[in-house]
Structure 1
Amino acid sequence: MEAHIKNETFMNNLKYLKLIALMLVVLGHSTDIYKGDWVLTSLHESIFYKWISLYVNSIHMQIFVFVSGAVYAYCRIEKKHYRSYVELLKSKLKRLIIPYIFIGALFMIPIEIKAGVSTYNLGYIYSVKNLILGYESGHLWFLMMLFVLFLLYYLLEKIIVRLNFKIIIIFLFCIQMFYSRLPRIFLVNKAIYYMFFFYLGYLIYLNLGSIIKIEGMISKHKVIFLFLGLIIIPILIKLRDNLPQIKIVISIFYNLISDLIALIGIIQMYSVVLTVKSLKLYSGIGKCFDYIDRFNFSIYLLHEPIIFLILIKVINLNPSSLVMSCFLISIIISIIMAEIYYLIKAQLRCLLTRKLT
């Protein structure tokens, strides 16, 4: 019974960790305009928001994939889901690929063509074809990548569980160094790259008993872990981006430092979860988190095109005002659109039920 409670507590913490990762994604897209190498550029420069963009873009997707690996293990072991490859395929097609194509073709691409994003300057039909093939999928790339990752991992899982975890980690790290040479179609290369973090999440769940003890240590020193991340990650980013331009050095150490940054980021953001849960105001914060969490997928799907619509109008606004506007408005409008969708869906279901009866 106690083990079950600890299990559910850990999974609840991961739910909040995923929500924090989502907020980082939105923040990253709200600050990308100041990176200098994004698809749009402001007349204003901001070193502060450039560093925020570099910071969150170094950890947010890795957190998402890490959580996905742990949740996959939970579903397989605790819930007995995905008993067959076909079951997994159907589930992930419905959950990931249908929204990917629907939102990409009908919402993302039209808006980003209007915004003048060069990725889509060859027209709508060509852009939709590239979306389906995974070559140009904007912020939705993660969905296609995760879909392929699930399918690949399921095929390899029986082999993975038999091998020593150190061998798997070393092997997956080595593959990361060659991911750019792997096929880009359907984002196979990125799926293989991120398998490292998926496996770590999977491994954490399999060894939850031991991890709970480590969590206790993190909980005791959560503020230290939180601020250490704020200090160490920028230093590592600076080091990574200034490596000697020697191919073998770049290949090994760039990936090594990137993975280290991501791992520190995962621990840091897990410390944020534990810190929030320890606050006296947690009951109110928890309700707010739970409300936003209901729309986490909708926010992910919709937020970036909304940010582009804002940028079309006020791209040269004061950096702080622009970032805050992009962050808050994209989240709020995404939630409103989701609420309207669910309301219409419920009404249509009621009408259909009445007709059938």
Structure 2
Amino acid sequence: MTAQKELKNCTFAKTVLMILIVVYHSMLFWTGGWFKVISPVFSSVVLKETAKYLTSFHIYAFALISGYIFYFVKYDKGGYEETLPFLKNKFARLIVPYIFVSLVWAIPFYLFVNKGTLSGAINKFALAIAPDQLWFLVMLFVVFAVSFFMANIWKYRSVLGLLSVIFIYLMQIVGQRIMPNVFQIWAACGYLPMFYAGFKLRQYSHGENRFFDVLRKIPSIVYVSCSSGVYILSLYIKTFDSKIFTLIGIGVNFSVHVLGALMAFFVLTRLGNFFGDKKIFVYLSKVSMPVYLFHQQIIYLTTVYLNGLVNPYIHSAINFLVSFAVSVIISEILLKFKLTKYLIGEK
């Protein structure tokens, strides 16, 4: 397989993961999370557990694939050489849309629809502590910035690189108990190991490492089975109320994220061989990130106004279809103009 084909498959995988995030948010109401004002009139165990399973891997897989592509561009293609151009590029792709969408969409929605306060808006958006779906952009920018400065250590000093990632991950476990998640610093530290895993996966993608070579040969059905099995095990462990099982649960939960990310990476990139060049997916790859930027507030409206009026499965489907369609329309309008295209992070 050519390097260009691999990159296309990664783009396909990221596109599917972006869509899965919208699917997840469409079901999130039934987990008891996100909404503080109202509760579901009709409960749904299926939607609740499906949403929980999706959240166990989708962002982790996206971080892993981002690390894989980062290595490809920096070392295989010789890009990302200079610090300032790299940071300017990521700022334009991630922070500019964060600022723009916050100001024209998320903050007005928070203030006028959610009846939020100005101090709440400052905490949520100016400090990026909990800026709705936009947290992902800030987190990813921090991950890219840290990874740029750590990349040569990761590549050329494997033991030190691994230890640095472990230290950063442990630091966030302690740090989030001491100070708020300002500018998504602790979230970035939590997702950095997945980015690092993708980085190393690409580094050893040509058979130089036996372990990574084995990973590439494992059938997709095995990845799906292992990921699902460990996830079910994690649910079982949570039924025990003891410190020992709490500690075991931490390790098992981390395994859930790792296996889920690997499962999504290998399954989706393999599917990319068959579907990646289809017109629908080429189009979706163009609008998937803009759709992500705008979808959540639309889901909030459909969730609130349809609560108790329709079957929860129909309700979640409407959440997805309406939010996706409206977000695509918004994206298409913004992509037509050079300025607004830049403001949503597109070239």
Q: State the TM bucket, normalised to the shorter chain.
A: 0.7 to 0.9
Deviations along 1:164-223, one digit per CA (max 9) or x if unpaired, are 2654564455445424236422111111111111110111111111288446523xx323
Relative to 1, partners in 2 of residues 1:98 and 1:241: Cα closer, same or farther, differing over 3 Å? farther
Distance 2:256 2:331 in 1: 34
RMSD: 2.9
Matched, 1:189 2:178: no
Could you tell me which amino acid in structure 1 is paired with residue 15 of structure 2? L
How many residues are treated as equivalent by the alignment? 333
Q: Which residue of 2 aligns with 1:297?
A: 289
Q: Which residue of 1 aligns with 2:262?
A: 267
Q: Which residue of 2 aligns with 1:354?
A: none
In the TM superposition, 1:141-290 aligns within 5 A as 141-161=135-155, 162-164=157-159, 167-168=163-164, 170-175=166-171, 177-181=173-177, 183=179, 184-210=181-207, 213-214=213-214, 217-218=217-218, 221-230=219-228, 232-242=229-239, 244-246=241-243, 250=246, 252-273=247-268, 276-277=271-272, 282=275, 286-290=278-282
- Check conservation: 1:115, 1:309, Cα contact below 8 A: no
Could you tell me which amino acid in structure 2 is paired with residue 53 of structure 1? A
Identity %, equivalent residues: 23
Relative to 1, partners in 2 of residues 1:312 and 1:342: Cα closer, same or farther, differing over 3 Å? same
Structure 1 unpaired stretches of 5+: 350-357
- Check conservation: 1:222, 1:274, Cα contact below 8 A: no
Could you tell me which amino acid in structure 1 is paired with residue 14 of structure 2? K
Distance 1:344 1:87 in 2: 24
Could you tell me which amino acid in structure 2 is paired with residue 109 of structure 1? I
Q: Which residue of 2 aligns with 1:323?
A: 316
TM-score scaled by structure 2? 0.85
- Check conservation: 1:223, 1:271, Cα contact below 8 A: no
Distance 2:284 2:223 in 1: 26
Q: Which residue of 2 aligns with 1:97?
A: 95
Q: Which residue of 1 aligns with 2:125?
A: 131
Q: Which residue of 1 aligns with 2:345?
A: none
Q: Helix, strand or coil: the match of 1:226?
A: helix
Deviations along 1:119-138, one digit per CA (max 9) or x if unpaired, are x6223x64045312112211
TM-score scaled by structure 1? 0.83
Q: Helix, strand or coil: the match of 2:278?
A: helix
- Check conservation: 1:111, 1:308, Cα contact below 8 A: no
Q: Helix, strand or coil: the match of 2:336?
A: helix
- Check conservation: 2:102, 2:125, Cα contact below 8 A: yes
Structure 2 unpaired stretches of 5+: 343-347
Distance 1:14 1:181 in 2: 35
- Check conservation: 1:299, 1:331, Cα contact below 8 A: yes
Distance 2:100 2:186 in 1: 23
Greater relative CO, 1 or 2 (CA 8 Å, sep 6+): 2
Distance 1:34 1:241 in 2: 20
Could you tell me which amino acid in structure 2 is paired with residue 33 of structure 1? F
Distance 2:184 2:191 in 1: 11
Relative to 1, partners in 2 of residues 1:9 and 1:172: Cα closer, same or farther, differing over 3 Å? farther
